[in-house]
Amino acid sequence: EPEVTQTPSHQVTQMGQEVILRCVPISNHLYFYWYRQILGQKVEFLVSFYNNEISEKSEIFDDQFSVERPDGSNFTLKIRSTKLEDSAMYFCASSGGQEQFFGPGTRLTVL
Amino acid sequence: GDSVTQMEGPVTLSEEAFLTINCTYTATGYPSLFWYVQYPGEGLQLLLKATKADDKGSNKGFEATYRKETTSFHLEKGSVQVSDSAVYFCAYNSGGSNYKLTFGKGTLLTVNP
């Protein structure tokens, strides 16, 4: 059964460093998403991506964040100059329609 | 603003007990409603969904009915198993072109043998 994969499973970084979180969506899906969950809080929408461009982004998704689909299979989330409050679980998802399929998440820890 | 409110956890039950996890939403229009489940160490999996008022979603013995009059989508199961131990998330999307999901906080369910 096809699944969404994410790497790494856990990333530790120093404040101010850049990180890239990677996702491989399901191959025939057209919509891609990033969500995050700060420990103990709700899962929050960050950004959606369709047809090689951002279709919607939340107020959380400021200039510090960017997304890219560099090679037709990977979907990346870059966080420039990480802050302590960026520590969270980041989930990638993809869909061909209403149902979204989620990856297992990357736990980002900013020290 | 748009939001989802879920019953606070954690919820601890004995095997074969009846489960209810309450969920209400605040959204404009006619959202589609979902329950996702997250087993330990895994990603979010769609458990069930309902796309219009009075629809009942069901899967693996779980059910939820889309109640527009009460803006609710409560999750129920008649007899839980140890393997149902997980975090359950209520969510909706308001349609449009990108189907973004708005989630509740999640409810941790632990089922003891």
Give the pLDDT of residue B32: 92
User: Given a cut of 70, is residue B14 above it in pLDDT?
Assistant: yes
Amino acid (one-letter) located at B102 = T
Give the pLDDT of residue B97: 63
**Are B105 and A41 an interchain contact pair (Cβ–Cβ within 8 Å)?**
yes
Q: A25: exposed, middle or buried (C-beta count within 10 Å: 0-12, 13-18, 19+)? A: buried
**Are B44 and A55 an interchain contact pair (Cβ–Cβ within 8 Å)?**
no
**Are A56 and B93 an interchain contact pair (Cβ–Cβ within 8 Å)?**
no
pLDDT digits (tens, 9 = 90+) for B64-87: 999 999 999 999 999 999 999 999
Sequence-distant (6+) residues with CB within 8 A of A45 are: A33, A35, A58, B100, B101, B102
Partner residues linked to B19 by β-bridges? B77
Confidence of residue B101 (pLDDT cuts 50, 70, 90): very high
User: Best of B44, B46, B94 to disrupt the A interface by mutation (most A CBs within 10 Å)?
Assistant: B44
A55: which chain B residues are within 8 Å (Cβ-Cβ)?
97-98
pLDDT digits (tens, 9 = 90+) for B32-64: 999 999 988 788 899 999 999 999 999 999 999
d(CA A88, CA A49): 21
Confidence of residue A2 (pLDDT cuts 50, 70, 90): confident
Sequence-distant (6+) residues with CB within 8 A of A55 are: A31, A48, A49, B97, B98
